[in-house]
Chain A
Amino acid sequence: MANNGMKRIFGFILQRLWFPLLIIFIWQLIQNKLDNPFFPPPSKIWESVQYVVTPEWVTNSLTSSLITLLGGYFVGSVLGIFAGAILGSDAIARTIFLPITNFIRCIPSVAKAPVILALLGIGLTTRIVTVAIAVFFPVLLITLRAIANTDKWIVEYSNLLGFNYWRALLQVRLPAATGEILTGLQAALQTATLVMVVSEMIGSGTGLGAFVMRSQSTFMIADMWLGILILGVLGVLLNGAFHLIEKRVFPWYFASQGMK
């Protein structure tokens, strides 16, 4: 048993990890020779981990970013699903609001940041609102479309069973739209991370985006790379957490789709 487990781990490392490890090795080797100041070797970035990652940095940069990201994402998602469900279940509201929402969604999320900054000023609330708005419109749109496309037979059946509007929405239409809403929520997570960084870069002294900007302006290039790599790790972890949570919260959906 233990032997099988070891074999599996070794196989995983051999298949998946050799390539990134090779890249890190080549990067180190090239930089030892060239010493390009803008691409410090991994060893130098590792050195900066030791003096940058302090409790104060965790509070000012990492925690601040996570609060902005998760706060904005949660608010934007909940409001987006709610508004999308309400608008999607009424034909006339859908006809009117679909083009309006689509137009606002087509404005790049990063362009909404200066507008919100002008309205609310600099601060944590502004950053959370910026992320929430960036998440709200795509989630609203995908929910609206998914609710509108609910199988007519299922809706008819719920009418025959005498379900009222709210019961039909909560117990029939929303569960039927789960797959599309989850896809939208996952895409919105990436948008949320991007907008979080932009809002920190242009309107804040805290957060990972501000840390990267500050490192560049003080020419601490290894610290800047550290910020970039931490954002990558954060993105991968958030994606993993999203998959884990969606499987825990909606096991019936994955079972119905024949997915593990």
Chain B
Amino acid sequence: MYELRPSHKWFAIAIVSFFLWEAAWVIAGVDSFPHSWEIARDFIPLLFTLLFWESVSITLLISFWGFVLGTLLALLLGISIALWSSGEKATRGTINFFRAIPSVVFLPLLIASIGASVRTSVILTTLVVTLISITYVIRGVQGVDPLLTESASYIKLNPIDRILILFLPSMISTLGSGMRLASARAIGTVIAAGIIVGGPGLGSAMGAAASGADYPRVFSYAITMGIIGVLNYSGFTYLENKLFRWRTTV
């Protein structure tokens, strides 16, 4: 089968992207859809501004804290539910119900109660990450080999050791898939909070550009978000492949 060489491949991707974009420009036919070179002319100088890097770092920092807190909370709740004999059946409906609610709908509630701040975005991101990861934690704990659980009871492992020695290593591969999904959703949530209620970060920068009709800037921020998304996805996939080479990615 004919395959493109890597250098040819990336050249072809650049050419096709350019022509697709310009074709879209012709179809859209509105001022709010800039040419590709107009976006490039805005994007390159933007990379050298402090404001841009401030927005990027705030977005990543909030996502990181929301991700860490959410994962810890999911571990705590998920392990407790999975260890409780009828816990999964009892809580499944409630967890699925909360997962079905689009996270951003909690924003007005958070704004009303604590205002638009870094804390609001962190709380919302923590909630999103917890709801995504908890199912993976429960599935992971339930997937632990019963023989290992019995051995742990036989040697009388205390609850902390049981979590650290038995459950965490056994479920880490399942949790890895959940963490990859949750990290992408964490970034998306911080950006959503910025767009909807002006929470700090790239979302509010994009919202400000949109309301100021600075369309090349809006697309520059969209490209930045795409680059962050690709880096996040590639980073997690790389880590998963390095750390869990013994299993396939779910």
Contacts and interface: CB of A to CB of B under 8 A. Distances in A.
B9 A209 contact: no
A96 interface: yes
A198 B102 CA distance: 9
B113 A38 contact: yes
Interface in B199-237: 203, 206-207, 210, 213, 215, 218-219, 221-223, 225-226, 228-230, 232-233
A111 B92 contact: no
Contacts, number: 171
Interface in B89-133: 89-94, 96-109, 111-113
A68 to B, nearest CB: 13
Contact of B188 (A96, A108, A115, A202): A108
Interface in B64-105: 86, 89-94, 96-105
A96 B101 contact: no
Given A103-B230, A107-B226, A118-B32, A201 B104 contact: yes
A86 to B, nearest CB: 15
Which of B99, B104, B219 has the most A CB atoms < 10 Å from its CB?
B104
B229 A15 contact: no
Contacts of B223: 107
Contact of A106 (B207, B218, B233): B233
B226 A106 contact: yes
B102 to A, nearest CB: 4
Contacts of A104: 226
Contacts of B154: none
Interface stretch (A41-49, A158-166, A219-227, A243-251): A219-227
A114 B108 contact: no
A202 B105 CA distance: 12
Given A18-B90, A110-B104, A202-B195, A219 B112 contact: yes
B210 A212 contact: no
A38 B203 CA distance: 26
Contacts of A78: none
Size band of the interface chain B makes with A: 35 or more
B112 A106 contact: no
Contacts of B233: 106
A111 B3 CA distance: 34
Determine chain B's interface SS by DSSP, over half rule. helix
B191 A108 contact: yes
B100 A15 contact: no
A17 B188 CA distance: 33
Interface in A68-93: 91-92
A1 interface: no
Contacts of B228: 106
Contacts of B33: 119
Nearest to B28: A119
A20 B91 CA distance: 8
A193 B105 CA distance: 11
B160 interface: no
A16 B89 contact: yes
A99 B233 CA distance: 13
Interface in B175-194: 184, 187-188, 191-192
B16 A100 contact: yes
A111 to B, nearest CB: 5
Contacts of A216: 108-109, 111-112
A16 B105 contact: no
Interface string A180-204: 0000000000100110111001100
Contacts of B153: none
Given A92-B4, A106-B225, A110-B195, 9 more contacts: A19-B91, A20-B93, A95-B12, A115-B222, A201-B196, A209-B104, A225-B109, A228-B105, A231-B102
4 A-B pairs with the lowest CB-CB distances in the bound complex, closest first: A235-B100, A106-B229, A216-B108, A108-B188
